[in-house]
Structure 1
Amino acid sequence: MSNYSTLFTRDGSSTVSFGGQTTRLKQAKEIGGNLKTQTSVADIRLKFEGQDGESAGFSDASLNGTTKIVRSKTSSSIDLFNGTNASGQGQTNVSAIDAFITGHQTVLDNWTTTAASGQAGTFEDSDGSTRYVDAKGRELDQLFTKTLSGALAYDQSVNHYLNRLDSENGNTADGKDYRALNDAGTVADGKSYTTMEHHWDESFGYIFGNTSGQNLIYKYIDNVDGLSKFAGTERQIFEAFVVGRIAIANKDYSSRDAQIGVLREKLGLIIAVRAVHYLSGGAKIIDAAGSGTSGKREDAFHDLCEGYGFVNSLRYVVNSGGARYFTDSEVDGFLATLDANNGLWDVTSTQLRDIADSIAAKSVGGLSWTLDDVNP
């Protein structure tokens, strides 16, 4: 994937730039990591929210003092949320993510307490890993990070930048007729790229902008590609970005738009398949523990927390035409089942499989598939 930036040049210089996306991916990775340590809630909030309009608090100094702030780009796409999370559903969504961070205080307060149903604390699962959970058995770092796969990476890549190619949300005034500028070959001030080219590359950056760090959606593309039903998905995603970028250079907008359809579907497929993978995998662990075959119920919690975050991400996933696969009510219903009573301590394997089946039945990715295609 590293050769993408060398494929597109103008007057001998690369026209590809997605540094802001790389910064936010790195920031998200550090914040998620902090949520499984004794880092204070105040320090984590500083990293997520920034201070006085600038990023701050990161151990990697290069991530500080920039205008790149994770929270401002979370659940704030131009297509679904009119470019803001200050009101409406965008605000509802980001407030739920805020709650993962503030909930970390309860985990900190019970850092050495043995976790139990309704009791935050810690436990060691059967493979020797130490887990820190809230009263519902949830690892907040997993909820945060996997939710950002949809709320940041997918939403910004697909629902934001791929919807800002021709204009600024339908506004072509004041130099925002990006198609006309691209047709004329007019580059942005002081840059080597047209605005349309840059927005396409920013979409690419939210997926492939931190390949060495392997976080959010990129981390799981290879996992999905390794399943026989979905073999070739990785190539389809990367080639869609390349072919679409070539189409922009050639001013072939119908070809570009066809690749947008591919990206909407195949990037959404990663989220849906991983949600099903973790929920059905957790169900198997719960069944094995319940029958006395192996392990204990808590062994399922890590998988279920990853699944929880990917389920939350489904609210951002759209089909090739841009219509959402899941309503907020559907996603909220799935999460309510996972959170009911004492959460992961109480949810049944039947409930988990029912959610997984409901997700698979949507045929995200533009093809029909089932739970058995994910966890044979």
Structure 2
Amino acid sequence: MKTIRLLLLPLLTLIFFVSCDINSSDDEDIEVPPTYEFERNGESTVAFSGQTTRIKMADELFAAMLDFDNTTEELLLQMYRNQDESGNEVDPYSDEELNASTKSIKSKVAASRDYFTSNASLSVEIKNDFETWMIGQVNEVFPNQNQLASPGVPGQIADGSGERYINGQGLEYDQMVAKSLNGALMADQMLNNYLSPAVLDEGSNREENDNGETAEGSNYTTMEHKWDEAYGYIFGTSANPANPVATIGSDDIFLNKYTGSVNQDDDFNTIAEDIFNAFKLGRAAIVAGDYEVRDEQAAIIQESISKVIGVRAVYYLQAAKRQIEDDQLGSAFHSLSEGYGFIYSLQFTRIPGTEQPYLTNSEAEAILTDLLDDGENGLWDLETSTLDDLSEQIADKFDFTLEEAASN
């Protein structure tokens, strides 16, 4: 018996240590609050007003693109730039707080540290795409507001009891602008800028964060603030930004809305909570100085937000396929215009652990070209087999199936 006990002692000790290792977690010692609320000296350290401002600017811009009575090309470009063509201050918004802001949509489009610091020419090209679409809305669609659209001819097309306003290829410029901003503004700034180690750890950010040294005139460290700015691009207009999942999908018309849409699908019904929890734990990890956990949470956010964009791109292509088969051409063109924006947004996604999108600029552009390439009149000539092919190309880049994305 003594021999058996002696043999069991080291075995039990080994089991004990292995068990401790299995059950341990890097985030066990990180104090995570139940909501996204963090304080220093009794005052909040959370701030993302700039992101809220840009979301509101983009919302007004989208609305103005269908204001046939009041909108001009000059107004749309001023709303996008928040200045005139000479760089002078303007007041293009109905919200005076937006007019008082020095921020703009254009300055943050295709402007992330990781993707565009070394590719300024592509950044300019993308920024100009949005201006081209705005100019097209005023000069092609507006003059034909009351004309029935037909192949090659812009105008209105019935969608249920309402109308859609399309260009000669069947695309809605307003939808292209709004849906593309999900990627070019919101996702790019979140995934490829503020959650990037190049931004979070820039200069002496780690040392200052470790020492609790706050940014000048502020109650937060620079690293805390960068993380919060990423948070703002999805939750910045939430009814309760500290506890935003309760109203996910209803707080703005951009990433918040479409995260909510994807979350309603049984195949992805934890994605909103996953994103929120990762933001919350990552922020708590910054407070605790645990940068490994911080980066693990950033990877979860990058994957999840990218998935939202990928799922919606496939969803709209498949929705359009059903609508074309049901002879609902106006509905199909609307879905495809939304899908166009989400396909365009794929180039701003982020594969975790890399500095690469799920689809590159050239891959996304190739899909958009194919979408309009079944005939000389774009969507008017589109074959449903093309929609299946393009859907599969996108789904194959992600870990979801075409069927899962289409069922939303």
Instruction: Report the Cα distance in structure 2 between the residues aligned to 1:354 and 1:122, rounded to whole angstroms.
Output: 29
1:27-53 CA distance string (max 9 Å, x none): 001101111221111111111012136
| 1:11 paired to 2:41 | yes
Residues 4 and 157 of structure 1: CA distance in aligned 2, closer, same or farther (over 3 Å): farther
What is aligned with 1:76? 111
In structure 2, list runs of 5 or more residues that go unmatched.
Answer: 1-33, 240-250
For residue 342 of structure 1, report the CA deviation from its aligned partner: 1.4
Residue correspondence of structure 1 range 1-376 to structure 2 within 5 A? 4=35, 7-38=37-68, 39-51=71-83, 52=87, 54=89, 56-82=91-117, 87-104=120-137, 105-125=139-159, 127-163=160-196, 164-168=198-202, 172=203, 177-212=204-239, 213-289=251-327, 296-322=328-354, 323-340=356-373, 341-363=376-398, 368-376=399-407
Instruction: Report the Cα distance in structure 2 between the residues aligned to 1:330 and 1:132, rounded to whole angstroms.
Output: 28
What SS does the corresponding residue of 1:103 show, helix, strand or coil?
A: helix
In structure 1, list runs of 5 or more residues that go unmatched.
Answer: 290-295
Q: For structure 1, which segment, 213-222 or 99-108, has the greater mean C-alpha deviation from structure 2 after superposition?
A: 213-222
1:76-132 CA distance string (max 9 Å, x none): 111100188xx311111111111111101211111111111100111222x112111
What SS does the corresponding residue of 1:119 show, helix, strand or coil?
A: coil
CA contact (8 A) 1:55 1:65 kept: no
Instruction: Report the Cα distance in structure 1 between the residues aligned to 2:185 and 2:106, rounded to whole angstroms.
Output: 9
How many residue pairs are counted as aligned between the two chains? 353
Counterpart residue type for residue 347 of structure 2:
R
Instruction: Report the Cα distance in structure 1 between the residues aligned to 2:129 and 2:76, rounded to whole angstroms.
Output: 15
CA contact (8 A) 2:193 2:199 kept: no
Return the index of the structure with the highest Cα Rg: 2
Instruction: Report the Cα distance in structure 2 between the residues aligned to 1:215 and 1:68, rounded to whole angstroms.
Output: 20
CA contact (8 A) 1:36 1:140 kept: no
When the two chains are superposed, the root-mean-square deviation of aligned CA atoms in Å is 1.6
Instruction: Report the Cα distance in structure 2 between the residues aligned to 1:14 and 1:55, rounded to whole angstroms.
Output: 33
Instruction: Report the Cα distance in structure 2 between the residues aligned to 1:55 and 1:331, rounded to whole angstroms.
Output: 34
CA contact (8 A) 2:260 2:272 kept: yes
1:217-248 CA distance string (max 9 Å, x none): 11011211121221211110000000000000
Instruction: Report the Cα distance in structure 1 between the residues aligned to 2:397 and 2:88, rounded to whole angstroms.
Output: 40
What SS does the corresponding residue of 1:189 show, helix, strand or coil?
A: coil
Instruction: Report the Cα distance in structure 2 between the residues aligned to 1:240 and 1:227, rounded to whole angstroms.
Output: 20
For residue 67 of structure 1, report the CA deviation from its aligned partner: 1.6
What is aligned with 2:8? none
Instruction: Report the Cα distance in structure 2 between the residues aligned to 1:343 and 1:55, rounded to whole angstroms.
Output: 37
1:279-315 CA distance string (max 9 Å, x none): 11101111222xxxxxx32331111111010000000
Residues 36 and 316 of structure 1: CA distance in aligned 2, closer, same or farther (over 3 Å): same
- Which 4+ stretches in 1 moved above 6 angstroms? none
What is aligned with 1:293? none
For residue 167 of structure 1, report the CA deviation from its aligned partner: 3.5
TM-score (ref. length: structure 2): 0.84
1:238-291 CA distance string (max 9 Å, x none): 0000000000000000000000100100011110001111011101111222xx
For residue 17 of structure 1, report the CA deviation from its aligned partner: 0.3
For residue 165 of structure 1, report the CA deviation from its aligned partner: 4.2
CA contact (8 A) 1:31 1:47 kept: yes
Percent identity of paired positions between Structure 1 and Structure 2: 37
Residues 46 and 83 of structure 1: CA distance in aligned 2, closer, same or farther (over 3 Å): farther
What is aligned with 1:292? none
CA contact (8 A) 1:54 1:69 kept: no
Instruction: Report the Cα distance in structure 2 between the residues aligned to 1:162 and 1:130, rounded to whole angstroms.
Output: 40
Counterpart residue type for residue 357 of structure 1:
E
